[in-house]
Structure 1
Amino acid sequence: MTQYAIVMILAGFGIPILAAMNAQLGGWIGSPAAAAAVLFVVAFSVAVVVALIVAPQGFAKLPTAPKHLFLAGVLIAFYLLSITFIAPHFGIGNAVFFVLLGQLFSAALVDHFGMFGAQVSPISLTRAAGIATMAIGVWLTQQA
């Protein structure tokens, strides 16, 4: 479990860096959409290489996967495009702050209802208080 937590902390650590770098690339080339497209090409290439190394048989099973699950790609595109367009105007911290708030509430709903095969973890009063505390903590980090 500790290894998972470390990997997720590192992934979370990378999100603001990704936002800042891609926003800067978008400004540099004059097109946030083109910057997002380039990031997707790089990410796609890395993901394909890792998939071919770790579990190449996964590609063969794609035709049988439920088609609605592919809509996750729309969500990542929405995130990347929105952060690339908005972060330079709103600030990296503010953009990520609101993303974190959305993640807190969405994660709680997904877990509560066991959506998309997630492990069911009902929202108890204690869990709701913890989420509220995290939300307040995230908000406090953005106060000058």
Structure 2
Amino acid sequence: MLQGTQNFMLYGFIMFVAGLGIPIMAALNGGLSNKLQNTALAAVILLFVGFCIALTYLFTTSGLPKTLYATGTPWYFYFGGCFVMFYILTISCVAPKFGIANAIAFVLLGQLIAMVVIDHFGFFGVKQYALDYKRLTGLTLMIAGIVLVLSKPQQS
């Protein structure tokens, strides 16, 4: 097996596991939000736990950072947390009312559209991949899959 193929498989598996965690996190934090009757507090708790884990990872893998800002870094690179916070607040509030499958499916739809636009134009300095016929076909099939997953069985 080629080194590139091994990395692809490893990275694919890691991201698959991360993907498994998204609906679990949505269900857990949505449940916490309902129990506490406070979406913002549930989000703060989730982020605090995540912050503690991230700090532990930072200090055990690379030690104390030398700087928080690298020269030439675009200012907007520091605002990814805004999207994380928006996701956490909305999934915690909406998913318990809308259903985990519905909420995650629409999140996935947004991710699919954003990923092809970001890749096609090379936004944020990522490697550019044109939206060709094959990628558009794959995107269409994935969207069709979301529609099929969301279709509810007939009640008898």
Length-normalised TM-score, structure 2: 0.87
1:79-94 equivalent positions in 2, closer than 5 A:
79-94=87-102
Match for residue 30 of structure 1? 37
Amino acid at match of 1:119: K
Selected match of 1:11 from 8, 18, 21: 18
Aligned to 2:54: 47
Amino acid at match of 1:2: M
1:103 corresponds to which letter in structure 2? Q
Q: Give 2:3's aligned residue.
A: none
Q: What is the count of residue pairs matched by the alignment?
A: 143
Quick one: which of 60, 70, 73 aligns to 2:66? 60
Aligned-residue offset at 1:9: 0.5
> Following the alignment from structure 1 to structure 2, what is the Cα–Cα distance between the partners of residues 140 and 104?
16
Distance in 1 between the 2:48 and 2:111 partners?
A: 25
Unaligned runs of 5+ in 2: 1-7
CA distance in 1, matches of 2:84, 2:144: 26
Aligned-partner SS, 2:24: helix
Q: 1:136 aligns to what? A: 144
**Counterpart code for 2:56:** V
Deviation by residue 1:65-116 (Cα, 9 ceiling, x = unmatched):
4321111110100011010010111111100000000000000011111111
The 1-side partners of 2:127 and 2:67 are apart by 23
2:120 to 99, 102, 112: 112
Q: 2:134 aligns with which of 102, 126, 139?
A: 126
Q: Which has the higher helix share?
A: 1
> TM-score, structure 1 length as denominator?
0.94
RMSD: 1.2
Q: Residues of 2 paired with 1:18 and 1:125: CA distance?
A: 35
Output the CA distance in 1 between the equivalents of 2:63 and 2:143: 39
Secondary structure, counterpart of 2:28 in structure 1:
helix
Q: CA deviation at 1:38?
A: 0.3
Partner of 1:96: 104
Please give the alpha-carbon distance, in whole angstroms, between the structure 2 residues aligned to 1:52 and 1:91.
Answer: 38
